[in-house]
Chain A
Amino acid sequence: MSAKKKQFVYGKNLDNALLAVYNAYVFFIRFFREVFRGRMEFQEIVRQCYAIGNRSLLLISLTGFITGMVFTKQSRPSLSEFGATSWLPSLVAIAIVRALAPLVTALISAGKIGSSIGAELGSMRVTEQIDAMEVSAVNPFKFLVVTRVLACTIAIPVLMFYCALVSLLGAFLNVTLNEGTSFIAFFENAFEQITFLDIWTSVAKAIAYGFTIGIVGSYQGYNASKGTEGVGKAANSAVVTSMFLIFIEEVIIVQVSNYFRI
């Protein structure tokens, strides 16, 4: 490729990247404008919350339970070296509440819910269903995007609490089979080290992740083009982009919460 052609291609790619960032910014701002404009579609929000919970409950139960059990199993040898296996419940609880439950919930939801929002809105876009809403004087952004983003923001923190509970049950099962610890003793020990800051940080994380999954999935689907290929691309980009953003948010929120911890 000649130097001039290379420069042109790179220039065009940069233009496209900047345009994508600008479009995402406009979409993000529009969401906040539309939330407070016109009547709220409460029924649709409830329907979406139910759909999100229904879609992810089984997967979150399974992954949460296994995460709790495996993490406990992996942590035991290190603690037993120092004769500190009695710390296992509190160590596992801290890990689950602070990091594992929000992250596992978010990653599962990004794959399950983010992709489904991207595909659903994408197929509505390419089959002109979104245009049909627009020409019948209904605001499709308010009905499709605002409801899905709010539903994700509400439902994912609830799923996160559920995931934490199931993970702790997985951890308890492992501990009780190995150390014979009772249910009450395990949970007393586990919650001893958990502070309100831990819980609020996890809630903040889950809210941020939920919002991210909802808005990224909606953005990708709402702006899908090029027929069925575009629908697949929207679903795929919804997962990849939201996972990437979730990890960035994780770093930022942990930094901020550590500042308060000190």
Chain B
Amino acid sequence: MEEDFKPGEPVIEVRDLYKSFGDLHVLQGVNLTVNKGENMVVLGRSGTGKSVLIKIMVGLLKQDRGDCIVLGKEVSNLDGNDLRDLRLKIGFSFQNSALYDSMTVRENLEFPLVRNIPNLSRAEIDEQVEYVLDAVGLLQTINQVPAELSGGQRKRIGIARTLILKPEVMLYDEPTAGLDPITCLEINELINEVQKKYQTTSIIITHDLTCARATGDRIAMLLDGKFLKTGTFEEVFDTDEERIKSFYDYNFIQ
């Protein structure tokens, strides 16, 4: 039976999650709850396991121990059609956009649509592709190939490709990494627009404090495989904890 989540109810629950790669212990007992309609930012230095966490949420990686429940389902217990059904409700925006470089923007967007919603007419496909492209402000790039797009445009198209399936949950992996400050602001605005327009629950993985502040309703600070502090931006950074302060200072200096 489909679970219907009301605003404020937990949509993603991570309990005591562990993940190691050989001798490298990336996640060491992570706990996190994300409520419906919330933008949760997972903040931390590179290599602290932020991306690993959201890859576990979408079933690309399996945890060693602990629970990862998304939309009421333990992800590691799902396979075949159940996992496919869950993935249809989750949008995943990759760090490097992961656009299919042999396809045009139109084909990139059509690809998940025609394979997951069969029997759509050509007019319906075009309408939906143009709608999401318009939503990310890149309708003019419809016939271009990814190689002809800038980094910011690629990120936007990557987000549009996930939006075409109207996801309930959005996972953004470093949405502003490698972009200039103005494009970063545009991406931050887009993330907030997506939340409002599509009523999504989102996790934003970043090490960029500007992005965290602009997009996060709450922030969870991941350090040494555990969440050190969770709360609003002010709650997290109003602290005497040396590691959080140095992370803030380093970002500020940058």
Contacts and interface: CB of A to CB of B under 8 A. Distances in A.
Interface in A120-141: 124, 127-129, 131-138
Nearest to B114: A138
A128 B96 contact: yes
Interface stretch (B86-94, B182-190, B234-242, B245-253): B86-94
Nearest to A142: B115
A138 B96 CA distance: 19
A79 B84 CA distance: 66
B58 interface: yes
B116 A137 contact: yes
B179 interface: no
A137 B100 contact: no
Interface string A106-123: 000000000000000000
B84 A137 contact: yes
Q: Is the interface of A mostly helix, strand, loop or mixed?
A: helix
Contacts of B98: 127-129, 131-132
A128 B101 CA distance: 11
Contacts of A143: 115
A133 B87 CA distance: 11
Contacts of B94: 128, 131-132
Contacts of A137: 84-85, 87-88, 112, 115-116, 165
Contacts of B95: 128
Nearest to A136: B112
A132 B58 CA distance: 11
What is the interface residue range for chain B against chain A? 20 to 34
Interface residues of A, number: 14
A133 B162 CA distance: 11
A39 B116 CA distance: 11
Interface in A136-158: 136-138, 143
Interface in B157-216: 161-162, 165
A134 B60 contact: yes
Interface in B47-85: 58-60, 84-85
Contacts of B58: 135
Contacts of B115: 137-138, 143
B48 to A, nearest CB: 19
B100 to A, nearest CB: 6
Nearest to A41: B115
Contacts of A124: 100
Contact of A136 (B85, B101, B118, B162): B162
B5 interface: no
Contacts of B112: 136-138
A11 to B, nearest CB: 17
A136 B60 contact: no
B87 A135 contact: yes
Nearest to A130: B98
A133 B103 CA distance: 13
A127 B98 CA distance: 6
A229 to B, nearest CB: 17
Given A129-B101, A131-B60, A136 B165 contact: yes
A32 B170 CA distance: 34
Given A127-B98, A128-B98, A131-B98, A138 B92 contact: no
A133 B111 CA distance: 9
Interface in A83-115: none
Nearest to B95: A128
B96 A136 contact: no
Contacts of B161: 132, 136
B60 A127 contact: no
A135 B90 contact: yes
Nearest to B90: A135
Interface in B90-144: 90, 92, 94-96, 98-101, 111-112, 115-116, 118
Interface in A148-181: none
A164 B85 CA distance: 50
A240 to B, nearest CB: 25
15 contacts: A124-B100, A128-B95, A128-B96, A128-B98, A129-B98, A132-B92, A132-B94, A132-B100, A135-B60, A136-B111, A137-B85, A137-B87, A137-B112, A137-B115, A138-B115
Given A127-B101, A137-B88, 5 more contacts: A129-B100, A132-B100, A134-B60, A136-B92, A137-B165
Interface of A: 39, 124, 127-129, 131-138, 143
Interface of B: 58-60, 84-85, 87-88, 90, 92, 94-96, 98-101, 111-112, 115-116, 118, 161-162, 165
Which 8 pairs across A and B sit closest by C-beta, in order of nearness? Answer: A136-B112, A132-B98, A128-B98, A135-B92, A137-B87, A137-B84, A137-B88, A138-B115
